[in-house]
Structure 1
Amino acid sequence: MSGNSDSQSQPAEHKENPALKLALELGPLLVFFFANSYGDRLTKLLPALTSLGGPLFIATGLFMAATVASLIASKILTGKLPLMPMVSGVIVLVFGALSIWLQDEVFIKMKPTIINSLFGVVLLGGMFFGKSLLGYVFNSAFQLDATGWNKLTLRWGLFFLFLAVLNEVVWRNFSTDAWVTFKVWGTMPITFLFTLSQMPLIMKHSIETGTE
């Protein structure tokens, strides 16, 4: 497909630093987790935070601030704003603001469902129209042949939908603290293990970058 060949023929941009990428993505989640766990202590140190509401709403507000800081840091350190974190950040700000404004936990709890469903539908929908959109996102990290991009796009599309369903199951059936813990310490390891499981496919379908 032309979309695949275009993404493969483009010279690879500067490689992403995996450690930096992990820190920028994990940082806001850690802020969210610890702010929710120690919300009462935070309000003693910063009484103004009580205007946001209970611990989850305080954590949501700080999560929003940390997300913006992470995007700014990404722009400064890498010279670009990655597409997926940027989309996720916009949804965090919208649903976080709604949660705090309406004092309704449902909005922030449904945020992962919305984000993962969006990514899953976009990736699988792109395949329906003959476009392996994952190639446009990860072309700077590695390059695959058309078959590799198709397989990887399908797997990530289904994985995002799996995460969406999993989030719905957890927040609807467990306590808020359990959901927050799962969001930070469950989703990240699951995603990391899934990413590692795709390495054989990536290695099998990797292509050498051209020197022209």
Structure 2
Amino acid sequence: MAEKQISQGLKSALELGPVLLFFVAYLRMRDQVYTIGGTEYSGFIVVTALFVPLLLASMAIVWKLTGKLSRMQVLTAVMVIFFGALTVWFNDEKFFKIKTTIVYGFFAAILGLGLLLRKSWLEYVMEDMMPLEPEGWMILTKRLTAMFAALAIANEIVWRTMSTDTWVKIETFGFPAALFVFFMAQTGLFQNHAKEEASDSES
């Protein structure tokens, strides 16, 4: 299926909508206990169970409208399904919290492995979005590897030492904001290592 273009607003709504709905639903249901099939589930567990099909529906709409899903989206969905299922099956919220550590840790490990092989696998994923010189990709990959590793460690500290309320807020807003600030801080790198061909074609 050929890739189609949709507005950035719609794309952002589809990508961020499920996460924001998870946050709102958690705030409304966090103090409730639900009995399903004779087993008691906290509001967090129920919201997690509802989040998985909501995320899949959102991704299905993105795929239907654009004909494409990024590798990061697919990996994140797999992790959410797997750890969401473990969370409900064992009735233990820690599995869903660990999911964030595994996702960020996996990204750091994959990018780090590429660096050991003197390759930027980040370029393979994002070259259409940011046309950079090879040196620029290597620098960005090193920095993002460190960032993902830091986020994985931060998630472990947060969920093990802080309340579920705090973790949900940091997971929903804190980590995405940290990544946003990280990429904004790379503006100089993007400018200094932009491909000349891209600059020439725009002039």
User: Same fold, TM exceeding 0.5?
Assistant: yes
Q: Displacement of 1:77 after TM fit?
A: 2.0
Q: Tell me if structure 2 keeps the 8 A contact 1:120–1:157.
A: yes
Could you list the per-position Cα deviations for residues 126-182 of structure 1 after superposition, in whole angstroms to 9, with x for gaps in the alignment?
A: 111121001111122121110011011111111111110110111011111111111
Q: Displacement of 1:66 after TM fit?
A: 1.9
Could you list the per-position Cα deviations for residues 103-138 of structure 1 after superposition, in whole angstroms to 9, with x for gaps in the alignment?
A: 011100100000000001101111111210011111
> Relative to structure 1, is the Cα distance of residues 144 and 70 closer, same or farther in structure 2, using a 3 angstrom cutoff?
same
TM-score, length-scaled by structure 2: 0.87
Q: Tell me if structure 1 keeps the 8 A contact 2:30–2:44.
A: no
Q: Displacement of 1:21 after TM fit?
A: 4.2
* Stretch of structure 1 that moved more, 125-134 or 24-33: 24-33
| Structure 1 runs (4+) greater than 2 angstroms displaced | 13-25, 40-44, 47-52, 208-211
> Relative to structure 1, is the Cα distance of residues 168 and 135 closer, same or farther in structure 2, using a 3 angstrom cutoff?
same
Q: Tell me if structure 1 keeps the 8 A contact 2:83–2:99.
A: yes
SS in 1 for 2:13: helix
Structure 2 unaligned runs (5+)?
none
Structure 1 unaligned runs (5+)?
1-12
* Stretch of structure 1 that moved more, 17-26 or 144-153: 17-26
TM-score, length-scaled by structure 1: 0.83
Partner Cα distance (2:155, 2:26) in 1? 18
Aligned to 2:164: 176
Aligned to 2:146: 158
> Relative to structure 1, is the Cα distance of residues 16 and 136 closer, same or farther in structure 2, using a 3 angstrom cutoff?
farther
How many percent identity over aligned positions?
A: 37
> Relative to structure 1, is the Cα distance of residues 165 and 16 closer, same or farther in structure 2, using a 3 angstrom cutoff?
farther
Q: Displacement of 1:19 after TM fit?
A: 3.6
Q: Which residue identity does 1:194 align to in structure 2?
A: F
1:35 to 2:25 alignment: yes
* Alignment RMSD (CA, Å): 2.7
Q: Tell me if structure 2 keeps the 8 A contact 1:56–1:105.
A: yes
| Equivalence map 1:37-56=2 (5 Å) | 37-39=27-29, 53-56=41-44
Aligned to 1:185: 173
Aligned to 2:119: 131
**Equivalent pairs, count:** 197
Aligned to 2:81: 93
Aligned to 1:122: 110
Q: Tell me if structure 2 keeps the 8 A contact 1:123–1:153.
A: yes
Q: Displacement of 1:24 after TM fit?
A: 3.0
Partner Cα distance (2:40, 2:136) in 1? 47
